[in-house]
């Protein structure tokens, strides 16, 4: 998978019975690359303290939007429990899994 944010393809007509597994592996590899580039545990269960809230949020830290390319200079749009956020919003992050 390249670093331009390309989407995996599920080709149901190819006869490849591992298509979904292949897609999942590609997706996990993309998340790993994003984790390494931005230093944030996307796709993992976390406890977050956000700067503008008095309480902590637990859940899976998700991408709100796929980054167009792997470049930490670009903003990374995230969400937890449907609350949109950026890296600047995170005061503290603890990995739970």
Query: What does the pLDDT read at residue 14?
Result: 64
**Could you give the angle at the alpha carbon of 35 between the alpha carbons of 81 and 40, nearest 5°?**
55
Query: What does the pLDDT read at residue 70?
Result: 94
Contact 76, 82 (CB under 8 A): no
Distance of CA 16 to the CA centre of its chain: 27
Domain parsing of the chain, residue ranges: 12-95
Query: What does the pLDDT read at residue 6?
Result: 54
CATH fold group of domain 12-95 = SH3 type barrels. (2.30.30)
Query: What does the pLDDT read at residue 36?
Result: 96
Q: Taking the CA atoms of the chain, what radius of gyration do you get in angstroms?
A: 15
For the chain, 97 residues long, give each residue's pLDDT as a single digit of tens: 444 555 666 666 666 668 788 888 999 999 999 999 999 999 999 999 999 999 999 999 999 999 999 999 999 999 999 999 999 999 999 999 8
CA nearest to 96, candidates 54, 64, 48: 48
**Could you give the angle at the alpha carbon of 80 between the alpha carbons of 75 and 85, nearest 5°?**
30
């Amino acid at each position: 998978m390249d670093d331009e944010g390309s989407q995996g393809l599920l080709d149901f007509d190819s006869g490849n019975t591992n298509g979904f597994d292949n897609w999942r592996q590609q997706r996990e590899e993309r998340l790993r690359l994003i984790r390494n580039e931005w230093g944030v545990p996307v796709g993992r269960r976390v406890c977050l303290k956000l700067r503008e809230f008095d309480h902590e949020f637990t859940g899976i830290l998700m991408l709100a939007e796929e980054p167009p390319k792997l470049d930490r200079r670009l903003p990374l749009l995230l969400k937890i429990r449907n609350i949109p956020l950026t890296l600047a919003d995170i005061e503290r992050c603890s990995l739970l899994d």
